[in-house]
Amino acid sequence: MPSLHPAVIPAETPLARARSLETLEAAYAAWLELRLAQGSARLRWREESLRLEEQGAFLVGAVRAAVGPGPAGPGALAQLDGYVDEAAGRLRAARERLAAEQQEAEAAHERACAELRETLRTRAARYLLQAPPRLRLLPQRVGGGRSVLHLERVGDDDAVLLLRLFTGALPSRYGFLRDECTEDAALPPAPLYAEEGVAAHEVRPDAAALAGRLRAGPEFLPVRGCLPLLVSGPGGVEVLMRFQQRGPVLEAEIAEGAGFRAVLTREEAEHCTGRLLRLQLEGRLRLEVEVG
């Protein structure tokens, strides 16, 4: 059966590229290509479905106009009935073809995405085992027993692995940490992408909503421009922190009210640093703390 939309990208095309290159970037590129292609295909299917509905309405209107207000002989009515039945059959067949094509493509898309998700989990686990990410922590004292914590900027692979270590989730996109695009020049980049269950109006959550999303334990987190983590704070109370992209460094921030602040108390800085040291003791990352 020929496709109504030959431009639909076969799922095997990006999958083959991901299989041939054993990198995180290749797997993420294939996954993004599939999602973009599927979004375009769904738009075309909606347009085609609307076109068929319009054709059906046009046919009904044309028949009514042909009958007209005056009397029509039996032969004319029979001829119109035959025309309507033939046209309706063609439209019905086109709708069935469209539905079958969409169902087949959606199933192939789901299978391909499932394979790529498993590929990403497997590759991330292998990378963490063979080459744990390296971090350089740069504490900056600002007086009054307070400080600012910076991390040297990390590469895209390490950003993926650090999110896995910090939250148990993988990012939904490669290069998420350096994504500084914004839909509104008056606003900073949104901390979430509108995907993986995040609606368009939920891309700018407050601190409590972001913490709730982390605690829900998603497999893939559509985070953008930051590395969130939950830290056991003073008194053992779990608090939300994040390393926010700030040019050449990542700056630690702690949740306060609906937002975040970057100037940390001594205890807050110690607990954040302690979380990183714990991961180093477990052999899951390599940490260097600048002193002096």
- For residues 110 and 137, state if they share a domain: no
Top-ranked range on mean pLDDT: pick from 57-71, 91-105, 147-161? 147-161
- For residues 141 and 102, state if they share a domain: no
Mean pLDDT of the chain: 86
CA distance 241 to 258: 12
CA distance 95 to 89: 10
**What CA–CA distances, in Å, run from 209 to 76, 190, 217, 219?**
67, 14, 13, 17
- For residues 136 and 113, state if they share a domain: no
Q: How confident is the model at residue 3 (pLDDT cuts 50, 70, 90)?
A: very low
Residue 278 has a pLDDT of 94
List pLDDT tens digits, range 197-213. Answer: 999 999 999 999 999 99
Residue 1 has a pLDDT of 40
In a domain, 205, yes or no: yes
In a domain, 35, yes or no: yes
Q: Are 140 and 148 in contact (CB under 8 A)?
A: yes
- For residues 146 and 220, state if they share a domain: yes
Tell me the mean pLDDT in the region 140-144.
Answer: 89
Tell me the mean pLDDT in the region 116-134.
Answer: 95
Q: Are 59 and 87 in contact (CB under 8 A)?
A: yes
Is residue 5 over pLDDT 50? Answer: no
- For residues 155 and 207, state if they share a domain: yes
- For residues 276 and 188, state if they share a domain: yes
Q: Are 207 and 258 in contact (CB under 8 A)?
A: yes
Tell me the mean pLDDT in the region 145-174.
Answer: 96
List pLDDT tens digits, range 218-266. Answer: 999 999 999 999 998 777 789 999 999 988 899 999 999 999 999 999 9
Segments forming the whole domain that contains residue 214: 132-289
Greatest alpha-carbon pair distance for the chain in Å reads 102
CA distance 280 to 289: 11
Q: How confident is the model at residue 2 (pLDDT cuts 50, 70, 90)?
A: very low
In a domain, 6, yes or no: no
- For residues 143 and 64, state if they share a domain: no
Give residues with Cβ within 8 angstroms of 251, minimum separation 6.
148, 149, 150, 243, 244, 262
Is residue 46 over pLDDT 90? Answer: no
- For residues 144 and 123, state if they share a domain: no
In a domain, 148, yes or no: yes
List pLDDT tens digits, range 55-96. Answer: 877 777 776 676 555 555 566 556 666 766 777 778 888 888
In a domain, 4, yes or no: no
In a domain, 169, yes or no: yes
The domain boundary residue, chosen from 105, 129, 153: 129
Sign of CA dihedral 22, 23, 26, 30: positive
Residues 71-103 as b or e (16 or more Cβ within 10 Å = b):
eeeeeeeeeeeeeeeebeeeeeebeeebeebbe
- For residues 197 and 238, state if they share a domain: yes
In a domain, 1, yes or no: no
The domain boundary residue, chosen from 83, 112, 129: 129
Sign of CA dihedral 269, 248, 205, 168: negative
Rg (CA), the chain: 28
Q: Which of 74-78, 119-123, 129-133, 158-162 has the lowest mean pLDDT?
A: 74-78
Residues counted in the chain: 292
Domain count, the chain: 2
CA distance 211 to 198: 14
- For residues 224 and 103, state if they share a domain: no
Residue 117 has a pLDDT of 94
The domain boundary residue, chosen from 129, 147, 176: 129
In a domain, 179, yes or no: yes
- For residues 120 and 152, state if they share a domain: no
- For residues 84 and 108, state if they share a domain: yes
